[in-house]
A and B are shown apart, each in its own frame.
Chain A
């Protein structure tokens, strides 16, 4: 049971709770409340008599008893505590949409205040393998920035999407920490310096990531899924209708290995074994969980697990004290339940399912036609399909597609349109029985839809526009055609297997024409006998998907390619040009804003003068002037926001372009492409950018 509980009676923003020892020894709780306020709860703080300065300046902590408030005044997007240098006192990092503030609670002063144009969505303090000291890592919209203890930028990299979570842990077992990022675009990526070690795509936006020992980490995503990966293998996952707010690892039962602690938006907290996800402990709070931290809150020399709800309820649980002891009779109950299940199963086996159900099979086939991948089902004679349910993730809005015909039918087709080029594991349940029956047999099966199932094989079109042939990727895979054919068979839904005769040594190669069923665009895949592959397509993403899939299949670690995508290049150059312009505009606007601010300050002083002199007319005049300046400021701010939005959009476009170009290569060549493109963007050198895209 809870070791302690208290209530700070404030609304706490979900996900924005942390703890730290700001004086080096006493644990405090820090949380974000309404309207950009930070609340510090310090139960062991010595009341300070000396600091009686009532000066209400900006950004100062005001203590009242155990609580202190810090007014930031803008929406807080991230909170983090930790040590960036040898000072044993923790520092508090506060992230907003535009800045990172490092605050020293004990001194009640800023440590640094740094503008982050990408915003600070998630902040983490830790030690990375390729940097000598503790650093602050800030994830923003499409980038990760690393700052040192002075707030100087020491590393910057692009990630394809808005960062929602970060974790630092040893991913590959080399006893050094890697950086792992999770994005709104549902991607999880592991970085070691500039190298992308591993990436995967989840089924919804990533909510939280937490590193565990033994190369494992916990992840949770927006659709209520929680799971654990070990290296690149998923150990388990569970799904709930509620959403995970926070994950943490803590040894709650005191057995020496930490458990996965999860806080949910419905107020539930559970602890699961990280081997299999089995729940070993759970509690329910009356409001949604805002955060879970680890802190020595009772001064016992050992950390407690502290749960904070969004209504301000705080509960602490100590390690090894909270386990449920089995109730008397629990074993008996479990055994009885087990017996009941066995009896049921026996009964169901021997039971009243009509004879003809037995031995019947369901015919299943997969095809691609009329704009969708199709699973066709056919039941045995005298039996009908009443309905079919397809369970899969990332293909439909929910997790299921149900096909329910008007009346039971002998044959049924399920249309599937996966939105992305990725293999889809689906789990199909089909209810089969005679017409009019109310007891039906359920056939279950798992099938995998090939990665490129949304591409239909077609004859070579008679007319091919000149523009089309200009788009291509060419790469030397140096692989036998037979293996490439095998890959084709595995990744496409073909009416019949594609075969290359072994005994014809000098055959002319493979040429396949495909029609994408999402957009009706035509693509061509060619391979000659030396293993040189050319992909002609206007879709650079599709080309990248093919290169990546094929090289993964063939086990290639390095692959360079020659690329030509005129339209894509033009888009990037336009974006680069626009970025250049927007940056200039921004500088100009900043100057104007500074000007207006100075004017504003001036006016306020004049107004104050007029008030003291009780000169009403002058006051009125100043107020009117103030109003005008204010309106100007607001207008300018709007313009600035608009141009900033455009700037980020263009930057995103550039980053995406770089990513697409990199995906046409593998290994060093890919990272080279990124580095070169980035250098070109940094220098605003359009020629270098084009060269980098074309030749890597």
Chain B
């Protein structure tokens, strides 16, 4: 890595949202720049470094939490903050010049100011104001993560939206937006800039699935050439060179925010990275803000020159700490029970659960603003917790009784100074439920925050967007589920969100009909949903998917006392289709298991020494790839069982749908056992067909 940077700490504020730190332009070239930070206590801070010392030039009073901070105005010297659904404007000196209630129902999550234009996004709604008057708006129907406005030559403005359906939408006036599909959900938009000059045509996009979610982006010239600055959820700050034509960006520097003292791997997510000259004139640096509100710089100033700088700051800080300790002692002694009604919120938990398509498991990320003592996970549905290498907490599975609604009770006792924890878990399709998570903080008096995360029935399905997967494979044949009843489109949309993950905020209507398509990340079978007022059609390649969907939808309808007519058309061809999808995987796993068996045998027979002399080329190759094979095996040691379970479920559901017969999965396993062992698709298929011949059962379905 070609860039030596050293860390200097500046200050600590409250918990911060993403994109709440900005750097002002410098008055003179290469002079230190001021910066603004806003936190969840609703406080806006403006800091600047003078004579090597950090000074607060302005600090607002506390208020509702601030979700976003942007700069606007000529010369980028006006601060705009989003607080609930209000936008406030401050000058650099701290004078409030604007307080504007946007009348948006949901709190503002993304904000952008360009000249007299102000764009605000709340949930799935984009709204633009011109001189604080409504200009235009757009209902995306998808969660909007970020917004950027770009000027055009005319009076129009381009609005660029980062949307939850893996798309960037470009709005131009009131025309239908242009859609740019991405492989993953975009979370951050940042204008390409060179120094203070922002580009009018280039925008950087950070996505959720860039290995670790990108939380903040900027471009800045740190040393010879423009760099891309990236902040991530796992606490890494990365700096890449800006790619020239046809060149891949190269990594110049990586920094993982460590937490002090004993903990390993502990860090916290980055909420902002901005380039600027902050600590010392002439030395460009990266200004970083973390979730819990730590602000520090990664400076190009050589470390030898740093030490002496901060002595005064240290003394000041020590005094502050003493005062705080004094105050705490007082509090403890008086133990007053008066509660300050304006007291800020405590225990902010930041969490996210995402599906890893690679190994079809969920990552659960939990972050607290104070050190975590322990986390308790309770599940009312069967799930499997997997080990995460970076997670250093001591895991313990408690005994539990499924009859009391506890399928998993697991505690993660954290090492000292752990602020965030990543866990992995595996869900089972057709077993919906809720995870209840209790996060206990280490700070006295101890409190805990309870989270509930629903697990949808078809938890392993991933939403598909139109242009994704250009290599269009042939789809179908499909099993069809038709529902007719007196439901509204909003109702069926709501029911679907119990069954499927990532259902958009609002139904996406096209000519009165909403369309959603999903693919199973595990086996690759397709599910298509089309629904409108009073009727809905679901086409699924996998009969199990259709049956699960049917169960959930009819249950929801019954709950609301809505009568449904349900028609289920089973397609015989769909069975071989699903088997065709599963078999390659099955064979691959089988292959892998055989290889591991051979390796183990070689080890037991002590034949690993001198493979060149003693073994055939096939085994030599195996030995060479040993660690690779074994790690692959470890990645998913139960894959074979899971694939078998898919086929078993398929059989059970097939019997249920085709012949209205319920058989237990134990019976199904017995029937399929020999055929599965043979690894012959035809044989397995025969089992499905056979039952058809031997037991003529009444079938209500048409073929």
Interface residues, chain A, with chain B CB atoms under 8 Å away: 11, 34-37, 224, 239-241, 266, 268, 278-279, 282, 327-329, 331-355, 358-359, 386-387, 389, 391, 396-402, 404-406, 429, 431, 437-442, 444
Top 9 nearest A-B pairs by Cβ distance? A398-B396, A35-B606, A442-B446, A402-B409, A402-B398, A342-B324, A400-B396, A358-B337, A351-B343
Mark interface residues in B604-616 (1 if CB within 8 Å of A CB, else 0).
Answer: 0010110000000
Q: Mark B393-424, 1 if CB is under 8 A from A, else 0.
A: 11111111000111001110101000000000
Inter-subunit contact A345/B443 (CB<8 Å)? yes
In the complex, the answer to whether A406 meets B443 with C-beta atoms within 8 Å is no
User: Is B464 an interface residue, CB under 8 A from the partner?
Assistant: no
Instruction: State whether A396 touches B398 (Cβ < 8 A).
Output: yes
Contact of B603 among A34, A327, A353 (CB under 8 A): A34
Q: Which of A36, A347, A396, A444 has the most CB of B within 10 A?
A: A347
Q: Could you tell me if A341 and B438 are in contact, using CB atoms closer than 8 angstroms?
A: no
A632 to B262, CA, bound (A): 60
* Residues of chain B with a CB closer than 8 A to A335's CB: 314, 317-318, 321
- Is the CB of B526 closer than 8 A to any CB of chain A? no
Q: How many chain-B residues does the 8 Å CB contact rule pick out?
A: 81
Q: Which residues of A contact B340 (CB under 8 A)?
A: 350-351
User: What is the CB-to-nearest-CB distance from B438 to chain A, in angstroms, rounded to a whole number?
Assistant: 6
Q: A335-B314, A386-B450 are in contact. Are A352 and B303 (CB under 8 A)?
A: no
Q: Is the CB of B370 within 8 A of A341?
A: yes
Q: Which residues of B have CB within 8 Å of A387?
A: 376, 378, 438
B324 close to A404 (CB less than 8 A): no
A429-B440 contact in complex given A350-B340, A398-B397, C-beta closer than 8 Å: yes
* Chain A residues, Cβ within 8 Å of B327: 346
Please name 9 pairs of A and B residues whose Cβ atoms are closer than 8 Å in the assembled complex, sorted by A: A34-B608, A328-B307, A332-B8, A348-B444, A353-B346, A386-B438, A404-B376, A431-B448, A440-B438
- CB–CB B321/A338 < 8 A: yes
B52 to chain A, nearest CB (A): 13
Which of A241, A278, A353, A359: most chain B CB closer than 10 A? A241
Within 355-375 of B, Cβ neighbours of A (below 8 Å) are at 369-371, 374
Whether A339 contacts B9 by the Cβ 8 Å rule is no
A402 touching B378, Cβ below 8 Å: yes
With contacts A241-B392, A352-B343, A438-B450 taken as known, whether A342 is within 8 angstroms of B445 at the C-beta atoms is no
Query: Which among A37, A224, A240, A440 has the highest number of chain B CB atoms within 10 Å?
Result: A440
**Alpha-carbon distance between A198 and B281 when the two chains are bound, in angstroms:** 67
**Known interface pairs A329-B8, A344-B370. Does A349 touch B445 (Cβ–Cβ under 8 Å)?**
yes
Residues of A within 8 A of B12 (CB): 336-337, 339-340, 343
B236-290 at interface with A (beta carbon < 8 Å): 259-262, 264
Q: Taking the complex as formed, is B344 at the interface, i.e. its CB lies under 8 A from any CB of chain A?
A: yes
Residue of B with least CB distance to A11: B608
Contacts of B219 in A (CB 8 A): none
Q: Are B320 and A339 in contact (CB under 8 A)?
A: yes
Chain A residues in 8 Å Cβ range of B374: 389, 429
Q: B331, A401: Cβ atoms under 8 Å?
A: no
> B286 to chain A: closest CB distance in Å?
15
Decide yes or no: A352 and B345 within 8 Å by CB, A342-B325, A345-B444 being known contacts: yes
Q: Check B393 against A241 for contact (C-beta < 8 Å).
A: yes
Find residues 468-494 in chain B having any chain A CB closer than 8 Å to their own CB: none
Who on chain B is nearest to A35 by CB?
Answer: B606
Whether B448 lies near A442 (C-beta < 8 A) is yes
Within 8 A of A (CB), among B305-352: 306-307, 310, 313-314, 317-318, 320-321, 324-325, 327-328, 331-332, 337, 339-340, 343-347
Q: Given A338-B321, A396-B398: A439 and B449 within 8 A (CB)?
A: yes
Q: A348-B346, A399-B396, A442-B448 are in contact. Are A279 and B262 (CB under 8 A)?
A: yes
Known: A35-B609, A329-B306. A239 touches B294 (CB 8 A): no
Task: Report the minimal beta-carbon distance from A404 to chain B, rounded to whole angstroms.
Answer: 5
* Closest partner residue, chain B, to A284 (CB atom): B264
- The answer to whether A342 and B344 have CB atoms under 8 Å apart is no
Measured CA separation A399–B397 after assembly (Å) = 8
Contacts A278-B262, A352-B339, A404-B378 known; A35 to B344 CB distance under 8 Å? no
Interface contacts beyond A340-B292, A345-B328: sample of 20 additional A-B pairs, CB < 8 Å, sorted by A: A34-B603, A224-B394, A241-B391, A241-B394, A327-B6, A328-B303, A329-B306, A336-B12, A336-B317, A339-B324, A341-B370, A341-B371, A345-B443, A349-B331, A399-B396, A400-B413, A402-B378, A404-B400, A429-B446, A440-B449
- Among the listed B11, B347, B394, B405, which residue makes an inter-chain contact with A336, where contact means beta carbons less than 8 Å apart? B11
> Could you tell me if B378 and A332 are in contact, using CB atoms closer than 8 angstroms?
no
Given contacts A36-B606, A389-B411, A399-B394, contact A438 B451 (CB under 8 A): yes
CB pair B399–A399 under 8 Å, yes or no, is: no
User: For residue B396, which residue of chain A has the nearest CB?
Assistant: A398
Q: Contact at A339–B393, with CB atoms within 8 Å? A: no
From A329, A353, A391, contact of B9 by CB (8 A):
A329
B343 touches A347 (CB 8 A): yes
Min CB distance B643 to A, Å, is 29
B293 at the interface (CB under 8 A from A): yes
Closest A residue to B11 using CB positions? A336
CB of B120, distance to nearest CB on chain A (Å): 28
Q: For B331, list chain A residues within 8 Å (CB).
A: 346, 349-350
Q: How far apart are B523's CB and chain A's nearest CB, in angstroms?
A: 32
Least distance between B385 CB and chain A CB atoms (Å): 12
Interface residue B447 (Cβ < 8 Å from any Cβ of A)? yes
Does A402 contact B400, Cβ atoms closer than 8 Å?
yes
Give the CA-CA distance A107 to B415 in the complex, in Å.
Answer: 51
> How far is B8's CA from A444's CA once the two chains are assembled, in angstroms?
38
A329→B7 contact, CB < 8 A: yes
- A333 contacts which chain B residues (CB < 8 A)? 7, 9, 260, 296
Inter-chain contact A334/B260, CB cutoff 8 Å:
yes
Q: Shortest beta-carbon distance, A336 to chain B, in Å? A: 5
> Of residues B332, B374, B438, which shows the largest number of chain A Cβ atoms within 10 Å of its Cβ?
B438
- Chain B residue numbers with a CB within 8 Å of A444 are 446
Q: Which residues of A contact B318 (CB under 8 A)?
A: 335
* CB of A204 to closest CB in B, whole Å: 13
A437 to B447, CA, bound (A): 12
CA distance A337 to B258 in the complex (A): 12
**Contact yes or no, B306 A440, CB < 8 A:** no
B221 to chain A, nearest CB (A): 24
Residues of A within 8 A of B447 (CB): 348, 353, 439-442
B394, A404: Cβ atoms closer than 8 Å:
no
User: What per-residue 1/0 map shows which CB atoms of B548-591 lie under 8 Å from chain A?
Assistant: 00000000000000000000000000000000000000000000
Would you call B313 and A346 a contact (CB within 8 A)?
A: no
* Distance (whole angstroms) from the CB of B259 to the closest CB of chain A: 8
Report chain B residues within 8 Å CB of A400: 396, 398, 411, 413
Closest residue of chain B to A311 (Cβ to Cβ) is B627
Q: Which of B314, B405, B445 has the most CB of A within 10 A?
A: B445
**Which chain A residues lie closer than 8 Å to B415 at the CB level?**
240
Given A332-B317, A344-B443, are A439 and B7 neighbors across the interface (CB < 8 Å)? no
Q: How far is the CB of B613 from chain A (nearest CB, A)?
A: 15
Could you tell me the distance between the alpha carbons of A347 and B12 in the complex, rounded to whole angstroms? 15
* B9-A332 in contact (CB<8A): yes
Q: How far is the CB of B307 from chain A (nearest CB, A)?
A: 5
Does the CB pair A339–B321 fall under 8 Å? yes
Would you give the shortest CB distance from A524 to chain B, in whole angstroms?
A: 33
Q: Which residues of A contact B313 (CB under 8 A)?
A: 332
Is A396 within 8 A of B399, CB to CB? yes
Query: Bound complex: CA of A329 vs CA of B296, how far in Å?
Result: 10
A282 to B263, CA, bound (A): 11
Residues on A with beta carbons closer than 8 Å to the beta carbon of B344: 347, 351-352
Which B-chain residue is minimally distant from A223 (CB atoms)? Answer: B394
Whether A35 pairs with B378 at a CB distance below 8 angstroms is no
Q: Which of A338, A345, A359, A404 makes the CB contact (< 8 A) with B406?
A: A404
* Nearest-Cβ distance from residue A323 to partner chain B, whole angstroms: 15
A438 surroundings in chain B (CB, below 8 A): 449-451
Q: Is the CB of B262 within 8 A of A405?
A: no
